[in-house]
Chains A and B, each alone.
Chain A
């Protein structure tokens, strides 16, 4: 019995995935393009198995009436889960098609070959192709047709140009660019902190500020301003933001996200122990605590959605990562049957985690149901993107090692203090849609919230288990369930802080043992693929580089296997530090098994490196006056062109290994490499991210 990929179990019929129309192959997928190039990779897999050129593929993505339901596009899972479904489906379609043609011709399928969708027999065109000889696709996939061998690949594992890129270079490719006739523009008023209730709003003053007549729609604490003129509602929402008076709710203190704050929050604790072995009393014990603050995903484009409620049917256009899940929760919150809701994915700006796309979709859908027959377009403001969208959870990570006689860790404990890393729609049985929470009869928040289970890669615990050969390992997860901040998934989830902590700690232990950090790691690492990426990255960078500590210039290394079961990556960073970190260069080696589109993967890894560098050097959401203290990019700076490092990537050629996905692989190793390089350059270690000038100065002063 073949085990089918989850996507195929949920959507078993071949015609849920593939159709042939007018010389094109239509590939239908529940996964969505969020800037990562997934549609190109899935199209490559389909083209490979059907033996057609990539140019014949048209991809329909994330449209509930047409596409297979595949949950969320997240967690670097798309190639693993959806890619294997597409591969099995297309292999089966090809096999059925060849059997059908063989029947027509009175030969066996083995006598036939396919080129550009046409069937050849003995190298000669038989006159049959996918488009002229229809086959019955309305049947379940069996998953038994053999897929093409990696050694025969013609499209997969080749660097191909992204299919979505041309219209994005100067065109109108985004959801923001949909411009239906007579569109009604809307802007929302958002509570300035979680759970705030609207006490008063001077609507007359808002209307005056709008300049042009607007409508004000208010139900409970949910307020929308609408007009045919977008600028009028932009002005209205800016004015309302300043005029609205709020009370109640939970207000974060200025130190929210710092180590001490995290450690004093109420927590639900659990312990995961592996290995055994008694450790002799009197052995040396080393401890250190690391942290990251709250982060925001910071897409360049604010979230946008359109919706229309007509003849009892709701249509929603969104850049949600989970169009089918969104449909379910729009149905429940707006009390419309899911059969009367169609959700259509359209591309937004880059998505690096759970952003406000679903919230914006609810906003548009809500307003649309109140102005039936009109197409409503909602766009979020930059301020609300900072203050009202979900944040990546702050974390404190405390490490403790009892060393053996050779100063290698014999007993290892990691304690993780963190709010949850996933509150997407539907999680914890809750809609998790901001607008729905403000409605008069909003259901109470869930009694207990959970983090991503370890079996799904973990949330706060993601990469919490060090991959090194540790005789005894203890992981303590302190789940902080009641924090005054809406936290959810941001690229890599807990891996960012955990890998930073573990890899910083490894360097500290190596230093204690008087060993080179690379040599020390290799002495604790039996996994051959792990060793290979570390050795390669070190060699690419000319490890160990400048050896004199306090020269202000140094290399540092970081390593992880994402989720401990996905792609391996080692990174080496070169920094120059005086009072500020100048990141000069990053070298990285990645083993992701079979890579569908090597150039696309390299692009993702390069981007992950730069984003991780931006987080590690600059980014932290701060709080003041009981609310997020960032309203503009001045308050939340990110890495600029003049600050980005040069990047060199090497992908391990491993087409025989399963594909592992690369979207989030770079986050942890890059941050760790930078942290270790800074420690070597300064001769002093900083354990709290981001590594800002203020922290460097404070650390240097404390040393003196």
Chain B
């Protein structure tokens, strides 16, 4: 079968024999987009998070057939006003990472939050990231980085 969807702003078409294959598998193997990560395969850790029509969604168990006609944004396509997302600079500024494996999923969840709220409280950021696990314990730096990015967006950066 043929599946058409929008991937990082481009229309794409996939000839897929297995409609139950997970979106993450398609992103990594067919499109060589390696930013979204396999963590658990069970929609529990958030390392594979992508935006589907702007909504943060786990891609590790999401069947590819259900993506037809939708818009998928991965961390590679995370732009703001056509430029690299302020989150990426803010994470470097705050040194908000240790091993880094969870970060692309967290950037996706955070971007969805900042799209409608550029001045989130600590509790609002935590709530938005609660489906993302981080094992290194970088949570506080990540929360500060999200708030910093929001401030930069509000200031028109």
Chain A interfacial positions (CB closer than 8 Å to B) = 34-37, 161-162, 164-166, 168-174, 176-177, 179, 211-212, 229-231, 234, 297-302, 347-352, 379, 381-382, 599-600, 603-604, 606-611, 614, 632-634, 638, 640-642, 644, 646-647
Asked if B56 lies at the interface with its beta carbon under 8 angstroms from chain A, I say no
Q: Which of B6-59 contact A (CB under 8 A)?
A: 18, 21-22, 25, 28-29, 32, 34-35, 37-42, 44-45, 47
Taken together as a complex, chains A and B put the C-alpha atoms of A179 and B143 apart, in Å, by 32
A-B contact pairs, 5 of them (CB 8 A): A168-B103, A169-B104, A349-B99, A379-B38, A644-B137
Q: Which residue of A lies closest to B89 (CB)?
A: A169
Residue of B nearest to A179 (CB): B32
Measured between C-beta atoms, what is the minimum distance from A693 to chain B in Å?
19
Q: Which residues of B from 84 to 114 have beta carbons under 8 Å from A?
A: 88, 91-92, 95, 97-104, 107
> Given A176-B37, A379-B38, do A300 and B97 touch, yes or no (CB 8 Å)?
no
- Knowing A168-B103, A634-B44, say if A298 contacts B141 (CB, 8 Å): no
A174, A297, A606: the one contacting B140 at CB < 8 Å is: A606
**A633–B45 touching, CB < 8 Å:** yes
- With A and B bound together, what is the CA distance between A361 and B35 in angstroms? 23
Residues of B within 8 A of A212 (CB): 18
Which residues on the A side are within 8 Å of B101 (C-beta)? Answer: 168, 174, 299-301, 348-350
Min CB distance, A303 to chain B, in Å?
12
In contact, A638 and B135 (Cβ under 8 angstroms): yes
> Given that A641-B126, A641-B132 are known contacts, is A609 also in contact with B137, CB under 8 Å in the complex?
yes
Q: Does B125 contact A (CB under 8 A)?
A: yes
**In the complex, B133 has a CB within 8 A of chain A:** yes
Q: Which residues of A contact B75 (CB under 8 A)?
A: 170
Nearest residue (CB) in A for B17 is A212
CB–CB B130/A640 < 8 A: yes
Interface of B with A (CB < 8 Å)?
Answer: 18, 21-22, 25, 28-29, 32, 34-35, 37-42, 44-45, 47, 75-76, 78, 88, 91-92, 95, 97-104, 107, 123, 125-127, 129-130, 132-143
Q: Which chain A residues lie closer than 8 Å to B18 at the CB level? A: 211-212, 231
User: Chain A interface secondary structure, helix, strand, loop or mixed?
Assistant: loop
Judging by beta carbons under 8 Å apart, are B135 and A299 in contact? yes
CA distance A603 to B138 in the complex (A): 7
Assess the A170–B78 pair: CB atoms within 8 A. yes
Given contacts A169-B91, A348-B99, 17 further A-B contacts (CB under 8 A): A35-B99, A37-B98, A169-B103, A172-B34, A173-B100, A231-B21, A231-B22, A300-B133, A301-B38, A349-B99, A382-B42, A600-B95, A603-B98, A633-B40, A641-B132, A642-B123, A644-B126
Q: How far is the CB of B65 from chain A (nearest CB, A)?
A: 14
Q: Which residues of B contact A172 (CB under 8 A)?
A: 34-35
* Given contacts A299-B101, A642-B127, A381 and B140 within 8 Å (CB-CB): no
A161 touches B95 (CB 8 A): yes
User: What residues on A are CB-neighbors of B140 within 8 Å?
Assistant: 606, 610, 644, 646-647
Q: Is the interface of B mostly helix, strand, loop or mixed?
A: loop
Name A642's contact: one of B29, B88, B130 (CB within 8 Å). B130
Contact of A633 among B35, B42, B95, B130 (CB under 8 A): B42
Given A603-B141, A606-B140, A641-B130 in contact, is the A176-B38 Cβ separation under 8 Å?
yes
Chain A residues, CB < 8 A from B97: 162, 165, 168-169
When distances are taken between beta carbons in the complex, the residues of chain B under 8 Å from A632 are 40, 42, 44
**Minimum C-beta distance from A478 to chain B (A):** 31
Task: Report the Cα distance A34→B99, complex, angstroms.
Answer: 7
Q: Which residues of B contact A34 (CB under 8 A)?
A: 99
What residues of B have a CB within 8 angstroms of the CB of A302 in the complex? 38-39
Contacts of B34 in A (CB 8 A): 171-172, 174, 176-177, 179
**A354–chain B nearest beta-carbon distance, Å:** 15
Inside 8 A of A349's CB, which chain B residues have their CB?
99, 101, 135
Q: Which A residue's beta carbon lies closest to that of B100?
A: A168
- Among residues of A, the one whose C-beta sits closest to the C-beta of B101 is A349
B139, A644: Cβ atoms under 8 Å? yes
Q: B9: shortest Cβ distance to chain A, in Å?
A: 16
Q: Contact between B76 and A300 (Cβ–Cβ < 8 Å)?
A: no
Query: In the complex, which of the residues A164, A170, A351, A641 contacts B125, with contact meaning CB atoms closer than 8 Å?
Result: A641
Whether A608 contacts B25 by the Cβ 8 Å rule is no
Residues of B within 8 A of A166 (CB): 92
A365 and B138 CA atoms in complex are apart in Å by: 34
Which A residues are CB-close (under 8 A) to B42? Answer: 382, 632-633
Residue from B92, B103, B139 with most neighbouring chain A CB atoms (10 Å): B139
Q: Is the CB of A300 within 8 A of B139?
A: no
Quick one: given A35-B100, A170-B35, A301-B37, are A608 and B137 in contact (CB under 8 Å)? Answer: yes
> Complex formed: what's the CA distance from A302 to B34 in Å?
15
Compute how far the CA of A634 lies from the CA of B133 in the bound complex, rounded to whole angstroms: 12
Residue of B with least CB distance to A597: B95
Q: How far is the CA of A17 from the CA of B110 in the complex (A)?
A: 41
The residues of B that contact A633 with a CB separation of less than 8 Å are 40, 42, 44-45, 133
Taken together as a complex, chains A and B put the C-alpha atoms of A230 and B22 apart, in Å, by 11
Q: Would you list the 4 A-B pairs with minimal beta carbon distance, nearest first?
A: A168-B100, A35-B99, A610-B137, A607-B137
What chain B residues lie within 8 Å of A642 (beta carbons)?
Answer: 123, 126-127, 130
Q: Are B135 and A352 in touch, CB under 8 angstroms?
A: yes
Closest to A608 in B: B137
Complex contacts, B142 vs chain A, CB 8 Å = 641
**What distance in Å separates the Cβ of A540 from its nearest Cβ neighbour in chain B?**
16
How long is the Cα–Cα vector from A198 to B28 in the complex, in angstroms? Answer: 33
Q: Residue on A with the closest CB to B127? A: A642
Q: What's the Cα separation between A508 and B129 when bound, in Å?
A: 39
Residue of B nearest to A612 (CB): B137
Contacts of B137 in A (CB 8 A): 606-611, 614, 644
- The smallest C-beta distance from B17 to any residue of chain A, in angstroms, reads 8
* B4: min CB distance to chain A, Å: 21
Cα of A179 to Cα of B28 in the assembled complex, Å: 9
Quote the shortest CB–CB distance from A649 to chain B (angstroms): 10
| Residues of chain A contacted by B92 (CB below 8 angstroms) | 161, 165-166, 169
Q: Chain A contacts of B143 at CB under 8 A?
A: 641
Q: Name the CB-closest residue of B to A347.
A: B99
* Chain A residues with CB below 8 A from B91, complex form: 165, 169
A532 to B38, CA, bound (A): 45
Is there contact, CB below 8 Å, between B41 and A169? no
Closest residue of chain B to A238 (Cβ to Cβ) is: B41
Residues on A with beta carbons closer than 8 Å to the beta carbon of B100? 35, 164-165, 168-169, 173-174
In Å, the complex CA distance between A247 and B37 comes to 35
Give CA–CA (A646, B136) in the complex, Å.
15
Within the complex, what minimum Cβ distance (angstroms) separates B143 from chain A? 7
Cα of A347 to Cα of B25 in the assembled complex, Å: 21
- Which of B38, B41, B127 has its CB near the most chain A CB atoms (within 10 A)? B38
Q: Give complex CA distance A633, B58 in Å.
A: 15
Q: Which residues of A contact B95 (CB under 8 A)?
A: 161-162, 165, 599-600, 603
Complex: A300 Cα to B100 Cα, angstroms: 10
CA distance A431 to B97 in the complex (A): 33
B45, B76, B98 pick with most chain A CB within 10 angstroms? B98
| Chain B min CB distance to A100 (Å) | 38
Scoring B98, B104, B134, B137 by chain A CB atoms within 10 A of each residue's CB, the highest score goes to B137
CB distance from A699 to the nearest CB of B (A): 27
A381 to B41, CA, bound (A): 8
Q: Would you give the shortest CB distance from B66 to chain A, in whole angstroms? A: 16
Nearest-neighbour CB distance to chain A for B142, whole angstroms, equals: 8
Cα–Cα distance between A165 and B90 once the two chains are bound (Å) = 12
Q: Is B139's CB under 8 angstroms from A350's CB?
A: no
Q: Given A168-B97, A173-B100, A382-B41, are A638 and B32 also a contact pair (CB < 8 Å)?
A: no
Q: Give the residue name and chain of the B residue nearest to A166 (CB).
A: B92
Cα of A166 to Cα of B84 in the assembled complex, Å: 13
